[in-house]
Amino acid sequence: MTVQVAVLASGRGSNFKAIADAIGAGRCDAEIKVLITNNPDAPAIQIARDGGIPVEIVERKKFKARDDMDDAILAILQRHGAKLVVLAGYMLILKGKKLLGAYRNRIINIHPALLPAFPGATAQKDAFDYGVKVSGVTIHLVDETLDAGPILYQEAVDISDCRSAEETAAKILKVEHSAYAKVVDSFSKGHYTVEGRRATYVRD
Ligand code: GRF
């Protein structure tokens, strides 16, 4: 069954666009109900407008506490009927207990490295600088931890031929785009249960 998705993005929005394009091409059984961003200048906003997707801007400075901000996001998610929350370059950590509770096992994030290697915001550069020959993409559930929720999907990327951090990021990004649409699509046919660190896919 088509899954109703909310995308949270803070910047460029190429993963958001890749998912929207995959939906348009019939490769991903999902409907993007809303784009939520904390950044009023995010290029992702134009992508949403071009695709006729509603945009909600939720700025950090409008709220005293982070919990209040995440409560506002939760209200938007519910108003738009989101069943799955897709973080695509969302640069704030979701902290609201109500939000994390309401969407338990239904918030996903993409990370441009093979976690638990190279967590954090500079994963591709860190992998390149370290000299690893294989890095990749991780898609994981979002919980109270940082970049450490149960892993749903990983794909390795050979970066041995990359000559810079930028080349590394570009090669990984291509794989992010196909991988994220695949995982979003999986939510249209099933869900994930979690035991300890292990996420298991269950077909509905
Ligand atoms: C991606 O590399 C993603 O893995 C990371 O942030 C970047 C977002 O890129 N979490 P974009 O905004 O989707 O183009």
Q: What is the pLDDT of residues 69-116, one digit of tens each?
A: 999 999 999 999 999 999 999 999 999 999 999 999 999 999 999 999
Number of structural domains (the chain) is: 1
| CATH number of the domain encompassing residue 157 | 3.40.50.170
Q: Indicate which residue's Cα is closest to atom 10 of ligand 1.
A: 89
The ligand 1 site (C-beta within 6 Å) comprises 9, 11-16, 88-89, 110-112, 173, 176
Which residue out of 176, 178, 183 has the highest number of ligand 1 atoms within 8 Å of its CB and is therefore the one to mutate? 176
Calculate the average pLDDT of the chain.
Answer: 97
pLDDT for 156 beyond 90: yes
Residues 29-56: pLDDT tens digits? Answer: 999 999 999 999 999 999 999 999 999 9
Known catalytic residue: 111? yes
Range of the domain at 93: 3-203
- CA dihedral angle for residue 154, residue 30, residue 26, residue 187, rounded to 10 degrees: 40
In this structure, the chain runs to a length of 204
pLDDT for 146 beyond 90: no
pLDDT for 147 beyond 90: no
- Counting from 1 in the atom list of ligand 1, the atom nearest the Cα of 13 is 12
Share of the chain above pLDDT 90, in %: 98
Instruction: Please give the model's pTM, rounded to 2 decimal places.
Output: 0.98
* DSSP codes of every residue in 39-82: -TT-THHHHHHHTT--EEE--GGG-SSHHHHHHHHHHHHHHTT-
